[in-house]
Amino acid sequence: MYLVESFLSVQGEGKYAGYPSLFARFGGCNLKCEGFGCEFVSPLDESHLVGCDSLYAVNEKHFKSQWESYEDAEQLFAKITSHIKDLDYLPHLVITGGEPLIHYKNPIFYGFLELALSQDFSVFFETNATIDVDFEAFGLYKKVGFAMSVKLSNSLEPHKKRINKNAIRHIALNAKEAFFKFVVDEQTVNSGEAQRDIEEITWGVDIPIFCMPLGFNGVEVAKNAPAAVSFCLKNGYNYSDRIHIRLWNEKRGV
Ligand code: SF4
């Protein structure tokens, strides 16, 4: 198992924006989302890379040298909880990536989840909801919440890769809690693409819908925020800002 980073912060977006949260970011993803247009320089060969704001947790080839490898669930749990040893309360535990559910059957990852739940953490997964979790064989996933950030056309991922209706439905039916969290921008809001996409993805799935503005830094978020607010008001969706980007822009580990 590869841990990219772990840190204590506030949840920056979605239903629990503002909640004290302990983040564990795992390496690897099944998508690329080059449409999000965030630029990085490869630590491997200094090439120019484009993807999402978590590209450093997505692109194994170029960033794996910066990831920490764990062979044991207890060591992994100890590392992640080391950030909160002086707290007298339990923050939410937010498991993110990359796409954390690509590891959902991994015994180290599952053991880590078991430890977290045994210590009464409220656990939330940040997922693109393309992995169809077997909730019967891996029952602990029924005890956690899922923020389903299903990708829209602005990710530039092909439709069949970014939308898995069975995976979405199974999460919504089985998880302790689930909600949608979509990234929208001015252009796809104005063209009607965002609405068509979201209506298709959410059809028949009765859980809360949050929309938040696309952006890698405060300037881009501010540019897309008015369109996101209007879009939410028009459709009865919930608006979510992106606190961490407003406060810290591209900075990692916050
Ligand atoms: S699914 Fe999420 S982590 Fe993976 S590339 Fe897309 S935005 Fe990044």
pLDDT < 50: residue spans in the chain: none
33 ligand 1 Cβ < 6 A: yes
CA of 169 from ligand 1 middle (Å) equals 20
Expressed in angstroms and rounded, the spacing between residue 27 Cα and the centre of ligand 1 is 11
The answer to whether the beta carbons of residues 126 and 4 sit under 8 Å apart is no
Q: How far is the CA of 216 from the centre of ligand 1 (A)?
A: 13
- Atom 3, ligand 1: residue with shortest CA distance: 98
Residue partners of 87: CB distance under 8 A and separation at least 6: 8
Counting ligand 1 atoms within 8 A of each CB, the residue from 13, 32, 245 with the most, and so the one to mutate, is 32
Percent of the chain with pLDDT over 70: 100
Cα 214 to chain center, whole Å?
A: 14
What's the pTM?
Answer: 0.96
CA atoms within 13 Å, Cβ hemisphere of 221: 20
**pLDDT of 222:** 96
List the one residue out of 171, 232, 162 whose CA is nearest residue 200.
162
Closest residue by CA, ligand 1 atom 7: 52
Residue 214 confidence (pLDDT):
94
Query: Which of helix, strand or coil describes residue 182?
Result: strand
Please state, in angstroms and rounded to a whole number, the distance separating the CA atoms of residues 78 and 81: 5
Please work out whether the CB of residue 97 comes within 6 Å of at least one atom of ligand 1.
Answer: yes
Cβ of 98 less than 6 Å from ligand 1:
yes
- Identify the pLDDT of residue 249: 84
* Residue 40, H or E segment: strand 38-41
Give the pairing of strands 145-148 and 177-184: parallel
Residue with CA at minimum distance from ligand 1 atom 8: 52
How much is the pLDDT for 147?
98
- Cross-strand bridge partners of residue 209: 180
The total number of residues shown for the chain amounts to: 254
Domains of the chain: 2-248 (3.20.20.70)
- Span from the CA of 126 to the centroid of ligand 1 (angstroms): 10
Classify residue 143 as exposed, middle or buried by CB count within 10 Å of its CB (0-12, 13-18, 19+). middle
Q: What single DSSP character describes residue 21?
A: E
DSSP labels for the chain? -EEEEEEEEE--SSTTTTSEEEEEEES--S---GGG-EEEE-TTT--EEEE-TTHHHH-HHHHGGGSEE-S-HHHHHHHHHGGGTT-SSPPEEEEESS-GGGGTT-HHHHHHHHHHHHTT--EEEEE-S-S---TTTSGGGGGSEEEE----GGG---HHHH--HHHHHHHHHHSSEEEEEEEE-HHHHHTSHHHHHHHHHHTT--S-EEEEE--SSHHHHHHHHHHHHHHHHHHTPEE---HHHHHHTT-S--
Which residue type, as a one-letter code, is found at position 178? A
Considering only CA atoms, which residue is closest to atom 6 of ligand 1?
33
Q: Which residues of 100-113 are buried (b: 16+ CB within 10 A; e: fewer)?
A: bbbbbeeebbbbbb
> Ligand 1 centroid to 88 CA: how many Å?
33
Ligand 1 atom closest to the Cα of residue 32 is: 5
Residue 54 CA to ligand 1 center (angstroms) comes to: 7
Q: How far is the CA of 55 from the centre of ligand 1 (A)?
A: 7
The predicted pLDDT at position 45 comes to 95
Q: Is the CB of 164 within 6 Å of ligand 1?
A: no
